[in-house]
Structure 1
Amino acid sequence: MDRSLRYCIIGAGNGGIAMAGYLAMIGYKVNLYNRTLEKIFPLMKEQTIYLTGEENGYGVLNKVTNNIEEAVKDVDIIMVTIPAMGHYDIAKEMAPYLKDGQIIVLNPGRTGGALEVYETLLRERKKNNIIVAEAQTFIYACRATKYNHAHIFKSKKEVTLAAIPAIKTNYVLELINEAYPQFIPAKDVLETSINNYGAIFHPAPTLLNSGHIERGAPFEYYTEGITPSIGNFLEKIDRERMELGRMLQVETLSATEWLRETYGAKGDSIFEAVQSNPAYKGLQAPQGLHIRYIYEDVPYSLVPLESIAHSLGMKTPAISSIINVAQLMTNIDFRLEGRTADRLGLEGLTIAEMHMLARRGTIVKRRLEEVV
């Protein structure tokens, strides 16, 4: 099989270590970038990542660096695995060194990630011949167990992906499907952004289990942390997300249906499906509250969902309540720092114009005389 594609993985966290190790293991040339030198210094000496779990083996990396120019030089595909709060900054850092035709894939984009990165590159480069794509979720349920070890609990059966411009989605898939056949096309990045299940499964269970988490009490995050009553609350958040999807004319799956299609989990409710999901078995709760489940998923998942909904006149009591609790607990104004409809360029647009922006990266206004 052809392994001539060159990858760069941005971020040496749980997902980045797993993805870099896997791609190197199956024969690709892989660069790994991390901004903080201390985190990757041991890997710079021994450029090997070991995988356990669903995938077993090891991959030898081509390069490990904290120099962004070195990382992205001459690569074909840049897989960004850092939290969404870093998407804007990493886009600015990469912009001077990118070459026309390179592909950036956000893994995942959360809500509005590709729109934010595309606009940032357009502004920084004064043009944009870079393809920016986003995955609807991360391909693995995984954990980095050491600086050079990752355990992959389970790969998702299907993950939707869309590019800006949308006519490039199938081109991106043709390239990455050799390594990841699970990626399938979405119509545009509005679809991948609205079908952001991290918004359902991360902030609310974390906040509603915050007492146990702050005490350091060990428990399985999903199977023990999502009780029947918490599952009931997640259903309400999910219904608001799906209602927004219907308003935007975006195809949506309920979180329960997504668990069934992605993991084969059975159940008539979120609670039942979570309990039957083998991929969630053994995934432990975090050891504190300063984690991306709050500091990423509230401002970059829930805030844009709320903001886009409100711009269309839709109320979101369940989503808004979690944002409010997160703000009260952390003393941070997530609405101020997060992705709003205005920041994403969606404020004041019609639904047709939102899709035009998502599919083309720009809006073409028809002249009045053409309409009359």
Structure 2
Amino acid sequence: MATVAVLGAGNGGLAAAADLTLRGHTVRLFSRTPAPLDPVREAGGITLEGAAGSGLAVTELLTTDLAAAVSGADLVMLVVPATALAPYAALLAPHLTAGQPVFLNPGGTGGALALHAALRAEGFRGELRIAEVSTLTYACRTCGPAAVRISNVAPRLPFAAFPGRAAAQLHELVAPLYPAVRRCGSVLETGLANLNAVEHPPQILLNTGWVEHTRGDFYFYYEGTTPSVGRVIDAVDRERLALAAALGAPAVRFVDAFRDAGYTTPEAAATGSTYIAMQHSAANRWFRSPPSLDHRYVHEDVGHGLVPWTEWARLAGVPTPVMDGLVTLAGAATGRDYRRDGLTAARMGLAGIGTGGIVRFLDAGPAEVAVR
């Protein structure tokens, strides 16, 4: 059994802490603020229900002290939005030890690259071994101040590491925790398998009026994915697949990955229609919409999903007009500059690296400095 530092106490962090604890692992749950942890202390643990089982999970530690959470941990697991990776790098840099395994659950698009670059920028000089999966291991929502419900545990998840030479060791460590992980060739492959970036920007941006008028009082995936919205998601997916082909990274259609992750039926996926796949998504059926555009479905899935894809596309010479349009629309709707503030090539450590040098870079990493 492993000692795991779970960093982040939102939906995913609570689900991971409860699930791993109830499966016999030693879990330390960290939050940057005490507010998410206080109800758990008062309740005596996290109540888990749903697809991963049920019970009261009493973790070894609930803490806002990051040093206490990560010291000696077999695995440091970040269950945080992609937008939080840079702040977490600043927090982690003084406490992470050389070679200590880090796992991004999820990594989204370019997460391992971004965290690696941010830790170096914060002055960390030790060996870095960072693994990621393409999307969160659970479909989950909190159902009370100290309770979480898991509606689906992904049965198959793309897994990769940066630098790539660490992938085998990290997979050996993570697989007992999450047997669904399947090794990929590189973090390009996991980054291109980010389902959230395919679906969420069209879903929320094309439903802006409904989101704001009802303050999220509708079923986001089921009612919000109409035939027209589904066609835009399919168009984003075609651009993603073209980018993957140009980069030499294996990729499957969104509907097939959605099926493989346990979110829709084989029959619905076989139609090739995202609209139909969403209509048959039992795991997502009852999830309500965000109440506004001030949400990770925009800030994360545009700025740290679509933006890095379009940055990779520029490196590869692949046109992405639908993705670019959604980035522009998101900026106009929110007043934010996602091109400036999102996950750029420079923030992933890829500035100046052409497509010919990417493979070597992904395997070996940047030129490493002496281990502190």
Instruction: Report Cα offsets for 1:137-173 as digits up to 9, x if no partner.
Output: 1011110112210000111110111112223222222
Match of 2:12 among 11, 15, 18: 15
Preserved CA contact (<8 Å) 1:353 1:363: no
Does the residue aligned with 1:161 lie in a helix, a strand or coil? Answer: strand
1:81 aligns with 2:85: no
- Equivalent residue, structure 2, for 1:92: 90
Which of 143, 156, 160 is equivalent to 2:158?
Answer: 160
Q: Which residue in 2 is equivalent to 1:26?
A: 23
What is the alpha-carbon distance in structure 2 between the residues aligned to residue 351 and residue 252 of structure 1?
18
Q: 1:109 matched to which residue of 2?
A: 107
Determine the structure 2 residue equivalent to 1:293. Answer: 297
Shift of 1:74: 1.4
**Alignment length, in residue pairs?**
361
Amino acid across the alignment from 2:99: G
- CA displacement, residues 113-146 of structure 1 (integer Å, 9 cap, x when unaligned): 1011112223434523231111111011110112
Consecutive unaligned residues of structure 2, counting only runs of 5 or more, are: none
Structure 2 CA distance, aligned partners of 1:128 and 1:315? 38
Structure 1 residues 239-290: Cα deviation after superposition (integer angstroms, max 9, x where no partner): 1111111111000011011122222523211111121222122112122221
Which whole-Å CA distance do the structure 2 matches of 1:175 and 1:320 have between them? Answer: 38
CA contact (8 A) 2:216 2:290 kept: no
- For 1:278, which of 282, 285, 289 is the aligned residue? 282
Per the normalisation by structure 2, the TM-score is: 0.93
Segment of structure 1 superposing worse, 35-44 or 314-323: 35-44
Other-structure match for 1:329: 333
For residues 251 and 127 of structure 1, the distance between their equivalents in structure 2, rounded to whole angstroms, comes to: 33
What SS does the aligned partner of 1:322 have?
Answer: helix
Amino acid at match of 2:50: G
Which of 17, 36, 45 is equivalent to 1:48? 45
CA distance in 2, matches of 1:236, 1:122: 36
- Which residue among 340, 361, 366 is the counterpart of 1:357? 361
CA deviation profile, 1:63-112 (whole Å, cap 9, x unmatched): 11111111111111111111111101101211111122311111111111
Q: Any unmatched runs of 5+ in structure 1?
A: 365-372
| Alpha-carbon contact 1:47-1:61 (below 8 Å) kept | no
Report if the CA contact (8 A) 1:8-1:71 is conserved. yes
Percent identity, aligned pairs only, is 32
Indicate if the aligned counterparts of 1:51 and 1:149 stay in contact, CA closer than 8 A. Answer: yes
SS at match of 1:38: coil
Map 1:53-68 onto structure 2 (within 5 A). Answer: 53-54=50-51, 55-68=53-66
Aligned to 2:248: 249
> d(CA) in 1 for partners of 2:174 and 2:216?
40
Contact 1:44 1:65 in 2 (8 A): no
Between the aligned partners of 1:217 and 1:245, the Cα distance in structure 2 is: 34
Is the CA contact (8 Å cut-off) linking 2:135 and 2:194 kept in structure 1?
yes
Structure 2 match to 1:239: 238
The answer on 1:222 being equivalent to 2:221 is yes
**168-177 or 196-205: bigger deviation:** 168-177
On the 8 A contact 1:121/1:128 being kept in 2, the answer is no
Measure the CA separation in 2 of the matches of 1:77 and 1:31: 11
Quote the Cα distance in structure 2 between the aligned partners of 1:145 and 1:16.
14
Residues 363/351 of structure 1: CA separation in 2 closer, same or farther (3 Å cut): farther
Instruction: Note the aligned Cα RMSD (angstroms).
Output: 1.6
Counterpart residue type for residue 75 of structure 1: A
Preserved contact between residue 14 and residue 142 of structure 1 (Cα < 8 Å): yes
Query: Could you say what secondary structure the match of 2:37 adopts?
Result: helix
| 3-state SS in 1 of match to 2:143 | strand
2:97/2:126 contact within 8 Å kept: no
Give the drift of 1:43.
Answer: 2.4
Report the equivalent of 1:367.
none
Question: Which AA in structure 2 matches 1:13?
Answer: G
- Is the contact made by 2:217 and 2:289 (CA closer than 8 Å) also made in structure 1? yes
Query: CA–CA distance in 1 between the matches of 2:66 and 2:216?
Result: 39
Shift of the 217–106 alpha-carbon distance from structure 1 to 2, 3 Å rule, reads closer
The one-letter code sitting in structure 1 at the alignment partner of 2:185 is K
C-alpha deviation, 1:32, in angstroms = 0.6
Task: Decide which moves more: 215-224 or 182-191.
Answer: 215-224
CA-CA distance at 1:35 after TM superposition: 0.6
TM-score, normalised by the number of residues in structure 1:
0.93
CA contact (8 A) 1:162 1:185 kept: yes
Distance 1:311 1:176 in 2: 32
Question: Which residue is 1:148 aligned to?
Answer: 146
- Please give the alpha-carbon distance, in whole angstroms, between the structure 2 residues aligned to 1:155 and 1:253: 20
**2: CA distance, partners of 1:227 / 1:275:** 9
Deviation at 1:46, TM superposition (A): 4.4
